[in-house]
């Protein structure tokens, strides 16, 4: 085929949810034929077997990929030369592969050479403009935005239009791909200069599309008479800082952050919040409070006094209501974050467990549309992995990473340990890998106990570059039915305040 065969066209990615009811060759071939009948000009097909199934029933160009979860590399898309060879032999016209600058089994140059030796075109799935520059230097035919947002930090919601524009300055052969879920977004990608546009989940993943519509309809029926979403004052009191924000839905209207003076006590912390938000007094109708520790009947107690020294059964809800003159609702911060990710983030509409891996480890659970409260989700405090000796977080979290670094002769914090690991220092890489392995095993146990649709990973450690990939690598080899679906949190540090605000609104 020629590159111009897919110019100004729609490419449909026919990739069913792995292990889902549509994960069968007959369905993939049916998706492919239906897409072409409706006007698509090319297809993106995952796995050698599915390329073999589709090739005899269509004449359109096929972009072929293989996905693998490797124990020693974060590269998942067509990582091996043998994969490129098998795709070419199966009938793919374009061989696509991960072109990110990460540890990999085969170089971009090797993959390009293999495809071209078999007369095939190549597509580099990129995460950045730097990836595209390197791939073009290696001789690829197309560069795609496929991996933008999937390499570092929380996964975005919208397609990366800016990257399309930047790539278009390098080459006309830019394929827009990733999170294109509506005709309007596809139009924007084409207008930005894309040579062709790939749409996948919105067309061929029934489970995903259904969840989007279900969420929208659920919101409409949940508050059918609301014409204007109320504004909530949301407060997140943490071990080092306190955040306060005005929240409407998932929108953060205004925000302030003040230090949490550990020894001052909760009365002083709330007084600081009151003074800092005085100018907002007439702008909110309710108050949500997310805090570290245990909430029972609106009263606040410490589960780990090392995080914050809280008097037992401190009447948090009553004090906030008296101080600010509005109804207040208090919830554990990780439980609030779990609800935020369920309503507006990475786990919309599905049963989920949320894990925040940071200075410590917290968690939350949402099952059948209900957030579990009380002690539910306090995974950082479980002791079975240590045979009862210490809490799980004391062998895994940022505090543990820093202690291990100090024991190795490096008095640095967890952030610096990650930097050292990325720079190739083996002692640091070993510490990070041990932490990721333990959290991965926790996720495996959670999957067996609760069978959630997704486990959402957040926190400064959990969202650090490469950590989630390490967790996935430690789970490779498990059967699909036992493997948890790990996804990066989307709301970042604001998940708790957004979740607490929404829960406060539901407490009417």
Q: How far apart are CA 394 and CA 438, in angstroms?
A: 11
Contact indicator for 296, 328 with CB cutoff of 8 Å = no
Give how far the C-alpha of residue 328 lies from the chain's centroid of Cα atoms, to the nearest Å. Answer: 30
The pTM of the full predicted model, rounded to 2 decimals, is: 0.57
CA 458 to chain centre: 8
Task: Report the alpha-carbon distance of residue 458 to residue 495 in Å, rounded.
Answer: 9
Residue 17: DSSP 8-state: P
pLDDT for the residue 216: 73
* Residue 218's pLDDT band (cuts 50, 70, 90): confident
The pLDDT, as a whole number, for residue 37 is 96
Residues paired with 364 in a beta bridge: 354
Mean pLDDT of 481-503: 91
pLDDT attached to residue 156: 75
Strands 370-371 and 361-367: antiparallel
Element (H, E) at 255: strand 251-259
Predicted pLDDT of residue 219: 64
For residue 197, give the nearest of 221, 178, 222, 216 by alpha carbon.
178
* Both tokens assigned to 505: 């609104």
Q: Is 334 helix (H, G, I), strand (E, B) or coil?
A: helix
Q: What is the DSSP string of 210-231?
A: HHHHHHHHHHHHHSTT-SSPPP
Q: Measured between alpha carbons, how far is residue 269 from residues 254, 323, 338 in Å?
A: 19, 12, 24
In terms of Cβ atoms closer than 10 Å to its own Cβ (0-12, 13-18, 19+), residue 389 is exposed
Whole-number Cα distances in Å, 490 to 156, 157, 251, 338, 430: 6, 8, 13, 11, 27
Evaluated on CA atoms 276, 281, 283, 289, the torsion sign reads positive
Confidence of residue 262 (pLDDT cuts 50, 70, 90): confident
The three-class DSSP label of residue 242 is strand
404 compared with 238, residue with greater pLDDT:
404
pLDDT digits (tens, 9 = 90+) for 340-365: 999 998 888 889 999 999 888 999 99
Please tell me the predicted confidence (pLDDT) of residue 321.
94
Give 157's pLDDT tier (boundaries 50, 70, 90). confident
User: Contacts from 209-217 at CB under 8 Å and sequence distance 24+?
Assistant: 211/348, 211/349, 211/350, 212/181, 212/348, 212/349, 214/349, 215/348, 215/349
Taking only the tens place, the pLDDT of each residue in 428-470 is 999 999 999 999 999 999 999 999 999 999 988 999 988 999 9
Q: Which residue has the higher pLDDT, 457 or 224?
A: 457
Domains of the chain (ranges; CATH) run 3-210 (3.20.20.70), 232-335+498-506 (3.30.420.40), 346-489 (3.30.420.40)
Contact 88, 81 (CB under 8 A): no
Residue count of the chain, please give it. Answer: 508
More reliable by pLDDT, 4 or 222:
4
Percent residues over pLDDT 70 in the chain:
97
Q: What pLDDT, in 10s, does the model give residues 172-202?
A: 999 999 999 889 899 989 999 999 999 999 9
User: Which band of pLDDT confidence, cut at 50, 70 and 90, is reported for residue 153?
Assistant: low
As a whole number of angstroms, the distance between CA 50 and CA 53 comes to: 5
Please tell me the predicted confidence (pLDDT) of residue 349: 80
Q: Which residue has the higher pLDDT, 374 or 66?
A: 66
The pLDDT of residue 493 is 82
Is 164's pLDDT higher than 90?
yes
Sheet holding 352-357, edge to edge: 370-371, 361-367, 352-357, 454-458, 486-488
**Residue-level pLDDT at 226:** 47
**Average pLDDT across the chain, whole number:** 91
| pLDDT reading at 291 higher than 80 | yes
**Coil, strand or helix at 386:** helix
Residue 347 has what pLDDT?
87
């Amino acid at each position: 085929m020629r590159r111009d065969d897919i110019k100004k066209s729609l490419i449909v990615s026919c990739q069913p949810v792995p292990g889902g009811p549509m994960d069968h060759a007959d369905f993939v071939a049916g998706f492919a034929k239906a897409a072409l009948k409706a006007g698509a000009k090319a297809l993106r097909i995952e796995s050698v077997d599915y390329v073999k199934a589709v090739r005899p029933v269509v004449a359109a160009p096929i972009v072929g990929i293989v996905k693998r979860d490797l124990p020693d590399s974060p590269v998942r898309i067509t990582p091996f030369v043998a994969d490129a060879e098998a795709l070419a032999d199966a009938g793919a016209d374009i061989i696509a592969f991960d072109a990110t600058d990460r540890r990999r089994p085969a170089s971009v140059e090797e993959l390009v050479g293999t495809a071209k030796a078999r007369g095939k075109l190549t597509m580099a799935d990129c995460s950045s403009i730097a990836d595209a520059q390197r791939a073009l230097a290696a001789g690829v035919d197309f560069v795609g935005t496929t991996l933008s947002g999937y390499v570092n930090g929380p996964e975005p919601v919208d397609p990366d239009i800016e990257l399309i524009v930047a790539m278009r300055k390098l080459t006309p052969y830019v394929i827009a791909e990733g999170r294109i879920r509506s005709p309007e977004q596809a139009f924007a990608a084409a207008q930005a200069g894309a040579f062709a546009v790939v749409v996948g989940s919105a067309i061929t993943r029934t489970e995903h599309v259904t969840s989007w519509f279900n969420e929208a309809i659920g919101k409409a029926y949940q508050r059918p008479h609301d014409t204007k979403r109320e504004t909530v004052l949301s407060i997140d009191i943490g071990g080092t800082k306190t955040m306060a924000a005005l929240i409407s839905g998932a929108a953060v209207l205004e925000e302030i952050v003040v230090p949490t003076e550990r020894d001052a006590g909760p009365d002083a912390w709330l007084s600081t919040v009151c003074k800092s938000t005085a100018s907002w007094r007439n702008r909110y109708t309710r108050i949500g409070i997310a805090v570290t520790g245990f909430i029972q009947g609106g009263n606040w107690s410490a589960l780990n006094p090392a995080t914050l020294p809280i008097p037992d059964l401190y009447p948090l809800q009553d004090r906030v209501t008296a101080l600010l003159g509005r109804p207040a609702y208090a919830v554990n911060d990780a439980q609030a974050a779990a609800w935020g990710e369920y309503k507006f983030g990475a786990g919309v509409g599905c049963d989920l467990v949320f894990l925040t891996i940071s200075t410590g480890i917290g968690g939350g659970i949402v099952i059948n549309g209900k957030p579990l409260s009380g002690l539910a989700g306090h995974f950082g405090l479980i002791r079975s992995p240590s045979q009862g000796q210490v809490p799980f977080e004391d062998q895994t979290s940022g505090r543990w990473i820093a202690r291990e670094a100090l024991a190795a002769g490096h008095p640095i914090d967890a952030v610096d340990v990650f930097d050292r690991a990325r720079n190739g220092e083996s002692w640091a890489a070993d510490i990070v890998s041990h932490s990721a392995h333990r959290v991965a095993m926790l996720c495996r146990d959670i999957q067996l106990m609760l069978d959630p649709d997704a486990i959402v990973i957040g926190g400064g450690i959990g969202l650090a570059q490469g950590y989630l990939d390490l967790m996935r690598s430690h789970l490779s080899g498990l059967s699909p039915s036992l493997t948890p679906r790990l996804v990066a949190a989307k709301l970042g540090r604001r998940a708790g305040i957004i979740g607490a605000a929404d829960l406060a609104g539901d407490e009417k």
